[in-house]
Amino acid sequence: MKNRLKVLRAERDWTQAQLASALEVSRQTINAIEKGKFYPSLPLAFKAARLFNLAIEDIFQDEVTEVTMVKS
């Protein structure tokens, strides 16, 4: 999973700690997400989207996961 958090922070000149506090998570959580250690939860992704006024997909990009529908 890739994400634009670092760039979005940089555009606003925010530290990881400031972003963490705006999103009400720990600084380590922001660091880990920026470094791709894990996905944020959906609620956290929504909060970030609202904070930056962007769609979730404009902040977090999934590496394409395959999806196939079985014939009904």
Partner DNA sequence: CAATAAAGTCAAATAAACTTTACATTAAAT
Partner DNA sequence: ATTTAATGTAAAGTTTATTTGACTTTATTG
Among 6, 22, 32, 34, which residue interacts with its own copies (rule: CB under 8 A)? 22
Among 4, 6, 27, 47, which residue interacts with its own copies (rule: CB under 8 A)? 47
DSSP string spanning 5-16? HHHHHHHHT--H
Give which of its own copies, DNA, none residue 69 binds (C-beta under 5 to 8 Å, depending on kind).
its own copies
Position 17 contacts DNA (CB under 7 A): yes
Position 44 contacts DNA (CB under 7 A): yes
Buried b (16+ CB within 10 A) or exposed e, 13-26: ebebeebbeebebe
